[in-house]
Amino acid sequence: MEYKSLTNGVTLPKLGYGTFQIPPEDTKHCILEALQCGYRLFDTAASYANEKEIGEAILESGIPREEIFLTTKVWIQDAGYAKTREAFERSCANLGVSYIDIYLIHQPYNDYYGSWRAMEELYDEGRIKVIGVCNFSAERLVDLCMNSRIQPMLDQVEFHPLFAQKELNDVLAMYPCQLEAWGPLNEGQRDIFHHPELIKIAAKYDRTVAQIVLRWHMQHDVIAIPKTVDPQRMKENMAIFDFRLDEADMAAIDALDIGYSEIIDHQSYMTAKWLNKYKIHD
């Protein structure tokens, strides 16, 4: 494992485990498998409706709480100061924990300034170790950094070889705020596992395409949280700490960037409308 220290001194594993879209009945055994493979950083969200199963699996594993890094997120519906404080307590209760390691604003919509004030307070109270955001573009991030008492320590955004968010990277480096990659494998889209350039590089290092892509993340000093329900793939994705891509191969992978997302466009009014309509509780 490689580690990354954030601005506030908290050190996180650079490779974690994503839990979006794992079928509810599979969540518990997937988390137990992932723990066995050595994953210690877990990513969930109130909107994934799996916090309870994740908390149960961690408890059942017997691994001490302080060895685990739990991430969860406040959904749009719970934006605002008071609602975020309530949502935070709900997530803690679901996960069966008294503190959250990484608490994030899930989407850059609704009253996220109110949420941020609540999160700053919870951070001061020692209930959250790292506060941050998700899906914040460069200008929203700058705005939040310039108008808050505590600056976000992490921005979880889509990031992979086909969408490497160059401008955002420069802005994050300025503050600095750590980039955490969701969709590090492009959610398997655009046939990424059969991309000719990636296959060529994978053959050179005798690795799989997934390993090459995740190794590229590590060398960009990004935290990545790939999701898989397959125990073999959990191991495969973790086996990336015994080789390095050379500069030419890093550059060849950098050159695959198409400059836009094929998964979601947060700048589109349709995305804002669709996500704002999505309710996770009454």
Nearest residue to ligand NAP, using CB?
18
The residue from 187, 198, 201, 256 that contacts ligand NAP (CB under 6 A) is 187
Measured from the CB atom, the residue of 128 and 134 that comes closer to ligand NAP is 134
Measured from the CB atom, the residue of 62 and 91 that comes closer to ligand NAP is 91
- Examine residue 152 and tell whether it contacts ligand NAP (CB under 6 A): no
250, 42 in Cβ contact below 8 A? no
SS3 percent helix, strand, coil of the chain, rounded to 5, is 50, 15, 35
Q: How far is the CB of 218 from ligand NAP (least distance, A)?
A: 15
The region of 50-58, 61-69, 139-147, 176-184 touching ligand NAP under the rule CB under 6 A is 176-184
Q: Are strands 154-158 and 178-182 parallel, antiparallel or unpaired?
A: parallel
- Examine residue 230 and tell whether it contacts ligand NAP (CB under 6 A): yes
- Examine residue 184 and tell whether it contacts ligand NAP (CB under 6 A): yes
Binding map of ligand NAP across residues 54-93, x = CB under 6 A, - = no contact: ----------------------------------------
- Examine residue 141 and tell whether it contacts ligand NAP (CB under 6 A): no
- Examine residue 225 and tell whether it contacts ligand NAP (CB under 6 A): yes
Q: How far is the CB of 209 from ligand NAP (least distance, A)?
A: 7
Measured from the CB atom, the residue of 20 and 113 that comes closer to ligand NAP is 20
What sign does the dihedral 96-54-127-63 (CA atoms) show?
Answer: positive
Measured from the CB atom, the residue of 124 and 254 that comes closer to ligand NAP is 254
The residue from 156, 165, 178, 261 that contacts ligand NAP (CB under 6 A) is 156
204-214: b (≥16 Cβ within 10 Å) or e: eeebbbbbbbb
Phi, psi of 74, deg, nearest 5: -95, 130
- Examine residue 227 and tell whether it contacts ligand NAP (CB under 6 A): yes
The residue from 27, 77, 110, 135 that contacts ligand NAP (CB under 6 A) is 135
**E-assigned strands of 40-177?**
41-43, 69-74, 100-105, 128-134, 154-158
Task: Report the 10 Å Cβ neighbour count for 260.
Answer: 11
Phi, psi of 179, deg, nearest 5: -85, 130
Cα-Cα-Cα-Cα torsion 218, 219, 220, 224, nearest 10 degrees, comes to: -10
Residue 181 makes CB contacts below 8 A (sequence gap 6+) with 156, 157, 158, 159, 160, 217, 222, 223, 224, 225
- Examine residue 188 and tell whether it contacts ligand NAP (CB under 6 A): yes
Give, as ranges, the residues between 2 and 21 that touch ligand NAP (CB under 6 A): 18-20
The residue from 29, 52, 233, 235 that contacts ligand NAP (CB under 6 A) is 233
What sign does the dihedral 12-18-24-26 (CA atoms) show?
Answer: negative
214, 253 in Cβ contact below 8 A? no
The residue from 53, 101, 226, 238 that contacts ligand NAP (CB under 6 A) is 226
Q: Rule CB under 6 A: which residues touch ligand NAP?
A: 18-20, 43, 106, 134-135, 156, 182-188, 193, 210, 225-230, 233, 236-237
